[in-house]
Structure 1
Amino acid sequence: FRQLLRNAPASPPDATVNPREDVAILQYSGGVSGTPKGAMLTHYNLVANTMQFREWFSALAGGKSRFMVALPLATTYGLTCLLNCGVHIGASLILIPRFKTDPVLKLIVKTQPTFFAGVPTMFAAFNNHPHIEKFKLSSVSYWNCGGAPLPLDVMRRFEQLTGRRLIEGYGLAEASPVTHSNTVRGRRKVGTIGQPLSDTHAKIVDMENGRELTVNEVGELIISGPQVMKGYWNKPEETALILKDGWLYTGDIAKMDEDGFFHIINRKKDMIISGGYNIYPREVEAVLHHHPKIKEAVVVGVPDNYYGEIAKAYIFCKGNRLMFEDEVIDFCLNKLAPYKIPKIFEICKPPRHDLRGAELRRHLLAESNKDKTGQKKDKTGQKMEEIVK
């Protein structure tokens, strides 16, 4: 890197940029269909969302704030809310290579950050630390939570411990990412994603005919604003599904109450959010289908007290083959990121002939929801469930 700097010309090359049209980054997302696609975020998108987020947190002192960067900067959440916003206001950035509860708590005490943005799993980890009361966290004036739904018990426990408000927001990669947030001060509604940021329009529409719905009616959340992407890279058909007449169709089922606060009811798409990371079932299933013993695999999200959701894989074997959990995990190790590997595996008898595709997924998800304990199988190489007859 030092050699690169020494070889660089004294005057940087003159590059002409059209902020509204030129793509700054390709942020890969599953979108509505669940298959990875590159969201084209322009310079204008990223700058606009940075300024929107900064105005929402207008009390952050320029040149005096200290941001603790515990999120990956490869995500739009980390990029916009920490790196870009921090640089925009001249904040100090305290970089953490990897989140680990005890070292992060000690670093907060040592460095005295004033702003912390994280995902629900991080705040649950703080809550569950055996000596959390011994750590002085009062330097942090603003705690922000996004990336996944924030459980109410996690929010309440954390606010009890710190005496500060934990501000929940909402966004998606296709919107750079922030579109909604609860207020830093003043009125908020716990359990909602808050209200749209400045210059952001949001409404709820009927999922069948696109008709705009009224207060407290449930439909799909759609968004319009300067932070909305240009489209998907080389995916015109996928772009047409999500961008219509200047509106971004989020694929999330929601409602707006009489005070303009938005409530997320469910996700239209099958994406699993585990500890703030997005897991796309079709991507995991594609890997599992390459295993020589597996005839079919279905991956669904099941509730988990720590991660919010974890991936569970239902395995349908070929013939009378036997499967072991360690065997499947080893097969996945070099083919999937660690967080994408299912935490639970279940060997199943062949499904009814009338259950295939989406119908099979819905059936298995309904079955898994009957047991919300999210208990993992042990990893001693035992037979995972029963022998497939």
Structure 2
Amino acid sequence: MRIRELGVRIGRGMPGRFNSITDVDGVRVGHHTLNIEAGDASVHTGVTIIEPRAGLARSQPCFAGCHVLNGNGDAAGLEWIREAGWLATPIAVTNTHSVGAVRDALIAAERNEVKDSVYWCMPVVLETFDGILNDIWGQHITVDHVRRAQADARSGRVMEGNVGGGTGMICHEFKGGIGTASRVLPPAEGGWTVGALVQANYGRRDALRVAGYPVGEVLRDIHSPFRDTAGGRRGEAGMGSIAVTLATDAPLLPHQCTRLAQRASVGVARMGGGTEDGSGDIFVAFAVGNSNLPVTDYTRIGKSSTVVTMVNNDHMSALFMAAAEAVEEAIVNALLAATDMTARGERAEAIGAARLLSALHETGWRSTRMPV
């Protein structure tokens, strides 16, 4: 179940065919999920891969930017994006203690492709903390798991909820995980697509808003893994993080990608997030609209300049709105797709479609049916 299927409208824009980050042509997503019951050592985690373009990323680089709303988290590979605005690897999302293992696995995969070329790669790996439901200290993600996620990468519909890197995540004290959505601009505004994929693992229950309605106030007394814990208090409400990847086919330059990434903050804020010290809120945006960017190769001297195109600043507002709406809807989709999980003596309940609709009605919302 996804939020549009319930007749709930998030913003004013229209989604793409799959209402997914894969509506941006060439973008592919793959997951590998681990669910192993072993008492307090239970494993509920995974890795999610986002490929900016089908095939080897190094041979088809794209411009990118990033933004950190709150830095209580970590990421690999962002410094070169900040410096050069360059993305030449897939983006991976996993749990906090597996960033290094996933980075190393992506480097190994790249090495198999480039052989002895004089080249380096700095993979982008984002994380959120799943240590309530997952034995995060066990560092269970391996090279093989990353390879399986890469092999699973495809266009079209994207699995959401308890899958890949989102397997053990908690969002607004409900079960969270992976979510995605997209917006397609009208031809008069450029006709470009903006897609978002989130790993949602942040937020307090009482702050939760859906389509602007304060459903968290209605649902505040539902079981919380931070408040009603069988195994004792393991954390505090609002701790966690959210990792957001934005993709667009608009021809953006690096500084414009950074501006787009900043607008993920708006989507998170509309949901009631972005104000917790214990949440790492890190966002990456890439643009595939320039398809002729040169490949870095230090075995030979390439051409000294490349002609690129860019969106004029007076057309950026529509892209900003699309990014904010896509992120907001992706988070709701993550909540709705998630299913209950009990692990390590704790329980995270899914928000569920019926419970969400009931809370929306109680706060004054009325259905406005729309195309799915």
Same fold (TM over 0.5): no
Which is greater in Rg? 1
User: TM-score band, normalised by the shorter chain?
Assistant: under 0.3
Q: TM-score w.r.t. structure 1 length?
A: 0.26
* Higher RCO by CA contacts (8 Å cutoff, separation 6 or greater): 2
